[in-house]
Structure 1
Amino acid sequence: MSRFFWVRHGPTHAKGMVGWTDLPADLSDIGQLERLSAHLPDDALVVSSDLIRAADTATAIAAHRARLPHEPNLREINFGTWEMKRHFEIKEQDLARQYWERPGDTRPPQGESWNQVCTRVNGAVAQLLTAHPGRDIIAVAHFGVILTQVQRALGLAASEAFSHRIDNLSVTELRLKDGQWAADRINHLP
Protein backbone atom coordinates (compact mmCIF):
# COMPACT_ATOMS: atom_id res chain seq x y z
CA MET A 1 0.00 0.00 0.00
CA SER A 2 1.17 3.52 -0.79
CA ARG A 3 -0.23 6.74 0.62
CA PHE A 4 0.01 10.23 -0.79
CA PHE A 5 -0.45 13.18 1.54
CA TRP A 6 -1.21 16.02 -0.86
CA VAL A 7 -0.49 19.38 0.75
CA ARG A 8 -1.55 22.58 -0.94
CA HIS A 9 1.14 25.25 -0.71
CA GLY A 10 0.82 28.34 1.50
CA PRO A 11 -1.29 31.26 0.24
CA THR A 12 0.04 33.70 -2.35
CA HIS A 13 -2.68 36.33 -1.85
CA ALA A 14 -2.81 36.82 -5.64
CA LYS A 15 -6.20 37.73 -7.07
CA GLY A 16 -5.82 36.27 -10.56
CA MET A 17 -5.35 32.75 -11.90
CA VAL A 18 -1.92 31.70 -10.68
CA GLY A 19 -0.63 28.77 -12.66
CA TRP A 20 3.02 28.74 -13.70
CA THR A 21 3.77 32.24 -12.40
CA ASP A 22 6.39 31.72 -9.71
CA LEU A 23 4.99 33.63 -6.74
CA PRO A 24 6.18 33.07 -3.15
CA ALA A 25 3.89 31.68 -0.47
CA ASP A 26 3.02 33.48 2.74
CA LEU A 27 4.49 31.12 5.34
CA SER A 28 4.19 33.49 8.28
CA ASP A 29 1.73 31.33 10.27
CA ILE A 30 4.36 29.21 12.03
CA GLY A 31 1.78 27.57 14.29
CA GLN A 32 -0.22 26.29 11.33
CA LEU A 33 2.93 24.99 9.65
CA GLU A 34 3.95 23.20 12.86
CA ARG A 35 0.50 21.59 13.20
CA LEU A 36 0.63 20.53 9.55
CA SER A 37 4.09 19.01 9.91
CA ALA A 38 3.09 17.18 13.12
CA HIS A 39 0.05 15.71 11.35
CA LEU A 40 2.12 14.14 8.56
CA PRO A 41 3.91 10.78 8.87
CA ASP A 42 7.47 11.07 10.16
CA ASP A 43 8.96 8.54 7.76
CA ALA A 44 7.33 9.93 4.60
CA LEU A 45 9.34 11.21 1.67
CA VAL A 46 8.73 14.84 0.69
CA VAL A 47 8.43 16.03 -2.90
CA SER A 48 7.12 19.29 -4.29
CA SER A 49 6.41 21.16 -7.46
CA ASP A 50 9.38 23.20 -8.60
CA LEU A 51 7.44 26.46 -8.19
CA ILE A 52 8.71 28.47 -5.22
CA ARG A 53 5.38 28.57 -3.35
CA ALA A 54 5.31 24.76 -3.21
CA ALA A 55 9.05 24.23 -2.75
CA ASP A 56 9.23 26.69 0.16
CA THR A 57 6.14 25.15 1.79
CA ALA A 58 7.77 21.72 1.50
CA THR A 59 10.92 23.05 3.14
CA ALA A 60 8.85 24.54 5.97
CA ILE A 61 7.18 21.20 6.80
CA ALA A 62 9.94 18.75 5.83
CA ALA A 63 11.63 18.81 9.26
CA HIS A 64 13.60 15.55 9.55
CA ARG A 65 11.94 13.88 6.54
CA ALA A 66 13.88 12.82 3.44
CA ARG A 67 13.46 15.32 0.61
CA LEU A 68 13.19 14.27 -3.03
CA PRO A 69 14.16 16.56 -5.92
CA HIS A 70 11.51 19.05 -7.07
CA GLU A 71 9.09 17.60 -9.61
CA PRO A 72 8.16 20.01 -12.44
CA ASN A 73 5.25 17.77 -13.46
CA LEU A 74 3.54 18.66 -10.17
CA ARG A 75 3.17 22.28 -11.31
CA GLU A 76 -0.20 23.97 -11.30
CA ILE A 77 -2.35 24.22 -14.43
CA ASN A 78 -0.72 26.25 -17.19
CA PHE A 79 -3.28 29.01 -17.79
CA GLY A 80 -1.45 30.35 -20.85
CA THR A 81 -2.61 33.85 -21.78
CA TRP A 82 -5.09 33.80 -18.88
CA GLU A 83 -2.25 33.64 -16.36
CA MET A 84 -2.63 36.17 -13.51
CA LYS A 85 -5.94 37.44 -14.89
CA ARG A 86 -9.23 37.51 -13.04
CA HIS A 87 -12.14 35.77 -14.72
CA PHE A 88 -13.73 39.06 -15.81
CA GLU A 89 -10.45 40.14 -17.47
CA ILE A 90 -10.39 37.21 -19.89
CA LYS A 91 -11.35 38.21 -23.43
CA GLU A 92 -12.49 34.70 -24.43
CA GLN A 93 -15.43 34.50 -22.00
CA ASP A 94 -17.22 31.67 -23.84
CA LEU A 95 -14.02 29.61 -23.88
CA ALA A 96 -13.39 30.35 -20.20
CA ARG A 97 -16.89 29.26 -19.26
CA GLN A 98 -16.46 26.04 -21.22
CA TYR A 99 -13.04 25.43 -19.61
CA TRP A 100 -14.44 25.62 -16.07
CA GLU A 101 -17.96 24.23 -16.60
CA ARG A 102 -17.03 21.30 -18.86
CA PRO A 103 -13.35 20.61 -18.21
CA GLY A 104 -11.73 18.19 -20.60
CA ASP A 105 -10.01 19.04 -23.87
CA THR A 106 -10.75 22.78 -23.84
CA ARG A 107 -7.67 24.83 -23.06
CA PRO A 108 -6.77 28.47 -22.58
CA PRO A 109 -4.77 30.01 -25.44
CA GLN A 110 -1.17 28.78 -25.04
CA GLY A 111 -2.21 26.81 -21.91
CA GLU A 112 -3.20 23.28 -20.91
CA SER A 113 -6.50 21.48 -20.98
CA TRP A 114 -7.74 19.64 -17.90
CA ASN A 115 -7.02 16.33 -19.62
CA GLN A 116 -3.43 17.42 -20.31
CA VAL A 117 -2.95 18.37 -16.64
CA CYS A 118 -4.32 14.99 -15.52
CA THR A 119 -1.99 13.11 -17.88
CA ARG A 120 1.02 15.12 -16.68
CA VAL A 121 0.27 14.67 -12.96
CA ASN A 122 -0.73 11.01 -13.27
CA GLY A 123 2.62 10.37 -14.99
CA ALA A 124 4.52 12.05 -12.14
CA VAL A 125 2.59 10.01 -9.55
CA ALA A 126 3.32 6.78 -11.47
CA GLN A 127 7.05 7.60 -11.52
CA LEU A 128 7.05 8.32 -7.78
CA LEU A 129 5.24 5.04 -7.06
CA THR A 130 7.69 3.09 -9.22
CA ALA A 131 10.74 4.73 -7.63
CA HIS A 132 9.43 4.42 -4.04
CA PRO A 133 7.03 1.45 -3.82
CA GLY A 134 5.05 1.14 -0.61
CA ARG A 135 6.32 4.45 0.79
CA ASP A 136 4.29 7.30 2.19
CA ILE A 137 4.82 10.42 0.11
CA ILE A 138 4.07 14.00 1.09
CA ALA A 139 3.53 15.89 -2.17
CA VAL A 140 3.35 19.67 -1.84
CA ALA A 141 1.55 20.98 -4.88
CA HIS A 142 -1.32 23.11 -6.13
CA PHE A 143 -5.11 23.27 -6.23
CA GLY A 144 -5.48 21.84 -9.76
CA VAL A 145 -2.86 19.14 -9.23
CA ILE A 146 -4.57 17.89 -6.08
CA LEU A 147 -7.97 17.93 -7.78
CA THR A 148 -6.65 15.67 -10.56
CA GLN A 149 -5.87 13.08 -7.90
CA VAL A 150 -9.18 13.55 -6.06
CA GLN A 151 -10.93 12.97 -9.38
CA ARG A 152 -8.90 9.81 -9.92
CA ALA A 153 -9.39 8.42 -6.39
CA LEU A 154 -13.13 9.05 -6.30
CA GLY A 155 -13.81 8.16 -9.93
CA LEU A 156 -15.45 11.53 -10.56
CA ALA A 157 -16.11 13.53 -13.67
CA ALA A 158 -13.82 16.56 -13.88
CA SER A 159 -16.71 18.94 -13.22
CA GLU A 160 -17.48 17.04 -10.02
CA ALA A 161 -13.84 17.23 -8.91
CA PHE A 162 -13.99 21.02 -9.27
CA SER A 163 -16.72 21.11 -6.62
CA HIS A 164 -14.17 20.08 -3.97
CA ARG A 165 -12.50 22.73 -1.89
CA ILE A 166 -8.73 22.51 -1.43
CA ASP A 167 -7.54 25.15 1.04
CA ASN A 168 -4.00 26.41 1.38
CA LEU A 169 -2.00 24.26 3.82
CA SER A 170 -4.66 21.54 3.79
CA VAL A 171 -3.96 17.80 3.51
CA THR A 172 -5.71 15.45 1.12
CA GLU A 173 -4.82 11.85 1.93
CA LEU A 174 -5.16 9.30 -0.86
CA ARG A 175 -4.14 5.66 -0.72
CA LEU A 176 -3.33 3.08 -3.37
CA LYS A 177 -3.98 -0.52 -2.40
CA ASP A 178 -4.15 -3.44 -4.81
CA GLY A 179 -4.26 -1.08 -7.76
CA GLN A 180 -7.24 0.90 -6.43
CA TRP A 181 -7.14 4.52 -5.28
CA ALA A 182 -9.24 5.64 -2.33
CA ALA A 183 -9.61 8.91 -0.47
CA ASP A 184 -9.17 8.88 3.30
CA ARG A 185 -9.40 12.67 3.80
CA ILE A 186 -9.95 15.61 1.50
CA ASN A 187 -9.05 19.17 2.47
CA HIS A 188 -8.20 18.41 6.08
CA LEU A 189 -6.85 21.38 8.03
CA PRO A 190 -4.75 20.09 10.96
Structure 2
Amino acid sequence: MSGTRTEWIWIRHAPVQGQENRYYGQLDVAPEPVDPSLAAAIARRLPATAVWLSSPLVRARATALALKDGADPIAVAAFNDQNYGLWQGRSFNDVFAANRTLDWSNPVDIQPPEGETFFDLATRVYEGVQRLTDHYAGHTLVSVAHANVIRAAIALALDIDLGTALRIEVAPLSVTRLGHRVVEGASQWSVGCINHETGS
Protein backbone atom coordinates (compact mmCIF):
# COMPACT_ATOMS: atom_id res chain seq x y z
CA MET A 1 0.00 0.00 0.00
CA SER A 2 1.42 3.37 -0.98
CA GLY A 3 2.72 5.35 1.99
CA THR A 4 2.55 2.40 4.40
CA ARG A 5 5.61 2.36 6.65
CA THR A 6 7.43 -0.88 7.36
CA GLU A 7 9.95 -0.88 10.21
CA TRP A 8 13.07 -3.02 10.19
CA ILE A 9 14.90 -3.50 13.50
CA TRP A 10 18.17 -5.34 12.98
CA ILE A 11 20.06 -6.84 15.92
CA ARG A 12 23.45 -8.47 15.63
CA HIS A 13 23.71 -11.75 17.50
CA ALA A 14 25.61 -12.11 20.79
CA PRO A 15 29.39 -12.67 20.71
CA VAL A 16 30.42 -16.20 19.81
CA GLN A 17 32.55 -18.62 21.80
CA GLY A 18 36.14 -19.40 20.87
CA GLN A 19 36.26 -17.73 17.44
CA GLU A 20 38.26 -14.58 18.15
CA ASN A 21 40.04 -13.25 15.04
CA ARG A 22 38.79 -16.13 12.90
CA TYR A 23 36.54 -16.53 9.89
CA TYR A 24 33.58 -18.45 11.28
CA GLY A 25 30.93 -17.41 8.75
CA GLN A 26 28.44 -20.22 8.32
CA LEU A 27 29.99 -22.47 10.98
CA ASP A 28 27.16 -23.03 13.46
CA VAL A 29 29.05 -21.85 16.53
CA ALA A 30 27.29 -21.15 19.82
CA PRO A 31 26.93 -17.64 21.23
CA GLU A 32 27.99 -16.53 24.66
CA PRO A 33 25.10 -16.26 27.14
CA VAL A 34 23.43 -12.86 27.09
CA ASP A 35 23.46 -11.09 30.43
CA PRO A 36 19.79 -11.03 31.56
CA SER A 37 19.92 -7.36 32.56
CA LEU A 38 21.32 -6.39 29.14
CA ALA A 39 18.75 -8.57 27.38
CA ALA A 40 15.98 -6.88 29.38
CA ALA A 41 17.33 -3.42 28.53
CA ILE A 42 17.39 -4.24 24.80
CA ALA A 43 13.94 -5.83 24.95
CA ARG A 44 12.48 -2.67 26.49
CA ARG A 45 13.51 -0.79 23.34
CA LEU A 46 11.66 -3.23 21.08
CA PRO A 47 7.96 -3.09 20.17
CA ALA A 48 5.59 -5.42 21.97
CA THR A 49 4.20 -6.65 18.65
CA ALA A 50 6.53 -7.55 15.79
CA VAL A 51 7.36 -10.25 13.28
CA TRP A 52 10.56 -11.94 14.49
CA LEU A 53 13.07 -13.17 11.92
CA SER A 54 16.56 -14.60 12.21
CA SER A 55 19.42 -16.18 10.40
CA PRO A 56 19.14 -19.98 10.46
CA LEU A 57 22.31 -20.23 12.59
CA VAL A 58 22.06 -21.06 16.29
CA ARG A 59 23.86 -17.92 17.44
CA ALA A 60 21.13 -15.76 15.91
CA ARG A 61 18.22 -17.90 17.04
CA ALA A 62 19.59 -18.21 20.59
CA THR A 63 20.01 -14.43 20.76
CA ALA A 64 16.40 -13.95 19.68
CA LEU A 65 15.26 -16.30 22.45
CA ALA A 66 17.36 -14.39 24.99
CA LEU A 67 15.69 -11.13 23.98
CA LYS A 68 12.12 -12.41 23.76
CA ASP A 69 11.06 -15.35 25.88
CA GLY A 70 9.17 -17.85 23.77
CA ALA A 71 10.24 -16.27 20.50
CA ASP A 72 10.04 -18.57 17.50
CA PRO A 73 11.73 -16.45 14.83
CA ILE A 74 11.18 -17.27 11.17
CA ALA A 75 14.48 -18.59 9.81
CA VAL A 76 15.42 -16.65 6.67
CA ALA A 77 18.07 -18.37 4.57
CA ALA A 78 18.89 -15.08 2.80
CA PHE A 79 20.07 -13.68 6.15
CA ASN A 80 22.66 -16.41 6.79
CA ASP A 81 26.19 -15.19 7.46
CA GLN A 82 28.74 -14.94 4.67
CA ASN A 83 30.07 -18.28 3.46
CA TYR A 84 33.85 -18.15 3.80
CA GLY A 85 34.27 -21.63 2.34
CA LEU A 86 37.64 -23.21 3.10
CA TRP A 87 38.65 -20.19 5.19
CA GLN A 88 36.07 -20.96 7.85
CA GLY A 89 37.71 -21.83 11.15
CA ARG A 90 41.05 -20.28 10.11
CA SER A 91 42.55 -17.14 11.64
CA PHE A 92 42.61 -13.83 9.80
CA ASN A 93 46.41 -13.79 10.00
CA ASP A 94 46.80 -17.28 8.53
CA VAL A 95 44.46 -16.53 5.63
CA PHE A 96 46.18 -13.23 4.86
CA ALA A 97 49.63 -14.81 4.97
CA ALA A 98 48.56 -17.54 2.55
CA ASN A 99 46.80 -15.12 0.15
CA ARG A 100 49.03 -12.05 -0.08
CA THR A 101 48.39 -11.73 -3.83
CA LEU A 102 44.68 -11.01 -3.36
CA ASP A 103 43.52 -7.42 -3.64
CA TRP A 104 42.72 -6.89 0.04
CA SER A 105 42.03 -3.21 -0.69
CA ASN A 106 38.86 -4.35 -2.51
CA PRO A 107 37.28 -6.84 -0.09
CA VAL A 108 33.82 -6.74 -1.70
CA ASP A 109 34.91 -9.03 -4.52
CA ILE A 110 37.28 -11.35 -2.65
CA GLN A 111 35.94 -14.88 -2.95
CA PRO A 112 37.24 -17.53 -0.55
CA PRO A 113 37.68 -21.01 -2.07
CA GLU A 114 34.25 -22.71 -2.14
CA GLY A 115 32.75 -19.59 -0.54
CA GLU A 116 31.01 -16.38 -1.57
CA THR A 117 31.92 -12.73 -1.92
CA PHE A 118 30.38 -9.91 0.08
CA PHE A 119 28.72 -8.88 -3.19
CA ASP A 120 27.07 -12.34 -3.33
CA LEU A 121 25.86 -11.97 0.24
CA ALA A 122 24.51 -8.47 -0.39
CA THR A 123 22.60 -9.70 -3.45
CA ARG A 124 20.74 -12.34 -1.46
CA VAL A 125 20.15 -9.95 1.45
CA TYR A 126 18.68 -7.34 -0.91
CA GLU A 127 16.34 -9.94 -2.38
CA GLY A 128 15.29 -11.16 1.06
CA VAL A 129 14.68 -7.66 2.43
CA GLN A 130 12.65 -6.61 -0.58
CA ARG A 131 10.56 -9.80 -0.55
CA LEU A 132 9.81 -9.56 3.17
CA THR A 133 9.17 -5.80 3.03
CA ASP A 134 6.53 -6.44 0.39
CA HIS A 135 5.04 -9.40 2.29
CA TYR A 136 4.92 -7.66 5.69
CA ALA A 137 4.18 -4.12 4.49
CA GLY A 138 3.02 -1.96 7.39
CA HIS A 139 4.47 -4.26 10.06
CA THR A 140 7.54 -4.10 12.29
CA LEU A 141 10.16 -6.77 11.67
CA VAL A 142 12.84 -7.64 14.23
CA SER A 143 15.65 -9.53 12.52
CA VAL A 144 18.55 -11.08 14.44
CA ALA A 145 21.41 -11.62 12.04
CA HIS A 146 25.11 -11.05 11.33
CA ALA A 147 27.34 -8.02 10.89
CA ASN A 148 27.74 -8.32 7.12
CA VAL A 149 24.03 -9.00 6.63
CA ILE A 150 23.21 -5.83 8.56
CA ARG A 151 25.84 -3.86 6.61
CA ALA A 152 24.18 -5.01 3.38
CA ALA A 153 20.76 -3.89 4.64
CA ILE A 154 22.22 -0.49 5.55
CA ALA A 155 23.79 -0.21 2.09
CA LEU A 156 20.38 -0.86 0.55
CA ALA A 157 18.68 1.76 2.73
CA LEU A 158 21.34 4.44 2.23
CA ASP A 159 22.07 3.58 -1.41
CA ILE A 160 25.80 3.44 -0.72
CA ASP A 161 28.44 1.27 -2.33
CA LEU A 162 29.33 -2.01 -0.64
CA GLY A 163 32.92 -1.03 0.01
CA THR A 164 31.69 1.87 2.11
CA ALA A 165 29.21 -0.39 3.90
CA LEU A 166 32.03 -2.71 4.99
CA ARG A 167 33.51 0.15 7.00
CA ILE A 168 30.41 0.44 9.21
CA GLU A 169 30.80 -0.96 12.71
CA VAL A 170 28.12 -3.43 13.79
CA ALA A 171 28.79 -4.53 17.35
CA PRO A 172 27.34 -7.66 18.95
CA LEU A 173 23.83 -7.00 20.30
CA SER A 174 23.72 -3.56 18.67
CA VAL A 175 20.47 -2.28 17.16
CA THR A 176 20.00 -0.74 13.70
CA ARG A 177 16.63 0.74 12.70
CA LEU A 178 15.53 1.21 9.09
CA GLY A 179 12.18 2.34 7.72
CA HIS A 180 10.57 1.79 4.33
CA ARG A 181 7.73 3.46 2.45
CA VAL A 182 6.43 3.35 -1.09
CA VAL A 183 5.57 6.90 -2.19
CA GLU A 184 4.04 7.42 -5.64
CA GLY A 185 5.39 4.05 -6.69
CA ALA A 186 8.96 4.78 -5.53
CA SER A 187 10.69 2.86 -2.76
CA GLN A 188 11.97 5.17 -0.02
CA TRP A 189 14.19 4.15 2.89
CA SER A 190 15.05 6.06 6.04
CA VAL A 191 17.56 5.34 8.79
CA GLY A 192 16.69 5.74 12.46
CA CYS A 193 19.96 4.56 13.99
CA ILE A 194 22.97 2.38 13.18
CA ASN A 195 24.98 0.28 15.63
CA HIS A 196 23.18 1.56 18.72
CA GLU A 197 24.62 -0.21 21.74
CA THR A 198 22.30 -0.32 24.75
CA GLY A 199 23.97 1.30 27.74
CA SER A 200 26.53 3.15 25.60
TM, length-normalised to structure 2: 0.87
Match of 2:188 among 157, 174, 180: 180
**Structure 1 segments of 4 or more deviating over 2 A?**
62-65, 103-106
Residue 32 of structure 1: how far off its partner (Å): 0.9
Residue 68 of structure 1: how far off its partner (Å): 4.0
Q: What 5-or-longer segments of structure 2 have no aligned partner?
A: none
Is 1:79 the counterpart of 2:87? The answer is no
Q: What 5-or-longer segments of structure 1 have no aligned partner?
A: none
Q: The residue matched to 1:104 in structure 2 has which SS?
A: helix
The number of residues matched between the two structures is 186
1:144-166 deviations in Å (ceiling 9; x for gaps) = 10000111112222221111110
Q: The residue matched to 1:42 in structure 2 has which SS?
A: coil
Q: Distance in 1 between matches of 2:100 and 2:170?
A: 25
Match of 1:20 in 2: 26
State the superposition RMSD in angstroms: 1.6
Residue 56 of structure 1: how far off its partner (Å): 0.6
Judge conservation of contact 1:76–1:141 (CA < 8 Å) in 2: yes
1:39-81 deviations in Å (ceiling 9; x for gaps) = 111111111001000011111112476x442112211111111
What letter is aligned with 1:189? E
Judge conservation of contact 2:34–2:66 (CA < 8 Å) in 1: no
What letter is aligned with 2:88? E
Judge conservation of contact 1:9–1:142 (CA < 8 Å) in 2: yes
What letter is aligned with 1:43? T
Is 1:116 the counterpart of 2:123? The answer is no
Structure 1 stretch displaced more, 118-127 or 163-172: 118-127
TM, length-normalised to structure 1: 0.91
Q: Say if 1:106 and 1:28 are closer, same or farther in 2 by CA, change over 3 A.
A: closer
Match of 1:5 among 5, 9, 12: 9
1:125-174 deviations in Å (ceiling 9; x for gaps) = 12222321111000000011000011111222222111111010000001
Q: The residue matched to 1:94 in structure 2 has which SS?
A: coil
Q: Distance in 2 between matches of 1:18 and 1:182?
A: 31
Q: Distance in 2 between matches of 1:64 and 1:109?
A: 39
Is 1:104 the counterpart of 2:111? The answer is no
Q: Distance in 2 between matches of 1:6 and 1:130?
A: 17
Q: Give me the identity figure in percent.
A: 28
Q: Distance in 2 between matches of 1:37 and 1:150?
A: 22
Q: Distance in 2 between matches of 1:116 and 1:74?
A: 12
**Matches for 1:12-91 after TM superposition, within 5 Å:** 12-13=16-17, 14-15=19-20, 16-63=22-69, 67-90=72-95, 91=98
Judge conservation of contact 1:46–1:62 (CA < 8 Å) in 2: no
Q: Distance in 2 between matches of 1:55 and 1:68?
A: 7
Q: Distance in 2 between matches of 1:2 and 1:64?
A: 24
Judge conservation of contact 1:102–1:158 (CA < 8 Å) in 2: no
Match of 1:93 in 2: 100
Q: The residue matched to 2:108 in structure 1 has which SS?
A: coil
Q: Distance in 1 between matches of 2:133 and 2:73?
A: 13
